[in-house]
Amino acid sequence: MFDSNAPKPANQVSDQAHRLRQLANEIRYSAMTMTNHSNLGHTGGDLSSSDILATLYLGGILNVNPGEPAWPQRDRFIMSKGHCSGAFYSTLAFKGFFPRAQLATFMDPLSLLNGHPDRNKLPGIEANTGPLGHGLPIAVGCALAARMRGESWRTFVLTGDGELQEGSNWEAAMTAQHYGLDNLTVIVDRNRIQQGDFTENIIRMDPLAPKWAAFGFAVAEVDGHDHAALVEHFSKLPLEKGKPTCIIANTTKGKGVSFAENKPAWHHGVPTKEHLAQAAIELGIEVKQ
């Protein structure tokens, strides 16, 4: 865990941000390779959320232990946008929850790496997700459980922005504020694209920050690809004592790969071998032959 009270020298912050950028790009390339293998997947949302996942798991924010995945005092992370399992599985494997070699089985018959994460199949997964709109309600239950037991572990949940069109999120948000769950942090991957089109063309959600504030959350907006800014925000949780936190991470769907950036068609576009070669160059990945 980072000690949020100890200011870091500037060069130490940028070293860490540089390392997280490299790791996030490795997660991106890994997820694209998996989607190429399975011929199915969600490239755009994998790429928009890789920096957030890398920062949480590999930047020392989440207090989890791959050696003891069910450690009762661990922080809980729920990948509500479970369709982005390529990035999520890659992050869990990079963290050491299971061998990286297993990633190559993505969506194979009998593989433990289903298209949507299954907590009964792999260590490190807290909740089965994929059907949108369920992660936050589960996370509220986790946060309430910690509160009732007097335990200090925290709950994090990553949602898509299109996902917020599911009304269940807003019922859960009301409950979180009612109980003053300041041990709960919602991160919104605000890439402004859902399946098929831009969010604002389907069901407008701007102004998003005031909505969360009206639902009783302490809200911050951050560049979801700026590792130093993400670390800074995640290190000072809760943003306000007695309130749940919402961090709106402004991202680009398809981030890091020019042919996929901000293109609705890449929501579930499948990269070819040629796309992978181009992605490796743009992401700075050395591909071992």
Residues that bind ligand TPP in the complex, under the rule CB under 6 A: 42, 44-45, 48, 81, 83-84, 130-133, 160-163, 189, 191, 193-195, 253, 267
Among 124, 160, 224, 244, contact with Mg ion (rule: CB under 5 A): 160
Query: Is position 26 an interface residue for Mg ion (rule: CB under 5 A)?
Result: no
Query: Is position 82 an interface residue for Mg ion (rule: CB under 5 A)?
Result: no
Q: What CA–CA distances, in Å, run from 2 to 89, 240, 271?
A: 24, 19, 36
Query: Is position 133 an interface residue for Mg ion (rule: CB under 5 A)?
Result: no
- Give the pair of three-digit tokens for residue 195: 């399946």
**Shortest separation between residue 56's beta carbon and Mg ion, angstroms:** 18
Q: Which is nearer to Mg ion, 135 or 162 (CB)?
A: 162
Q: Which is nearer to ligand TPP, 98 or 106 (CB)?
A: 106
210 contacts: CB under 8 Å, gap ≥ 6:
none
Q: Which is nearer to ligand TPP, 23 or 187 (CB)?
A: 187
Helix (H, G, I), strand (E, B) or coil at 10: helix
The residue at minimum Cβ distance from ligand TPP is: 160
Q: What CA–CA distances, in Å, run from 101 to 66, 92, 98?
A: 16, 12, 9
Which among 39, 33, 148 is positioned nearest to 93, based on CA atoms?
33
Distance of CA 132 to the CA centre of its chain: 14
**Shortest separation between residue 191's beta carbon and Mg ion, angstroms:** 4
Q: Which is nearer to ligand TPP, 26 or 189 (CB)?
A: 189
**Shortest separation between residue 65's beta carbon and ligand TPP, angstroms:** 28
Q: What CA–CA distances, in Å, run from 10 to 13, 15, 24, 234?
A: 5, 9, 21, 18
Q: Which is nearer to Mg ion, 43 or 194 (CB)?
A: 194
Dihedral, CA atoms, 259, 225, 56, 187, nearest 10 degrees? Answer: -90
Query: Is position 162 an interface residue for Mg ion (rule: CB under 5 A)?
Result: yes
Judged by the rule CB under 5 A, the positions of this chain that interact with Mg ion are 160-162, 191, 193-194
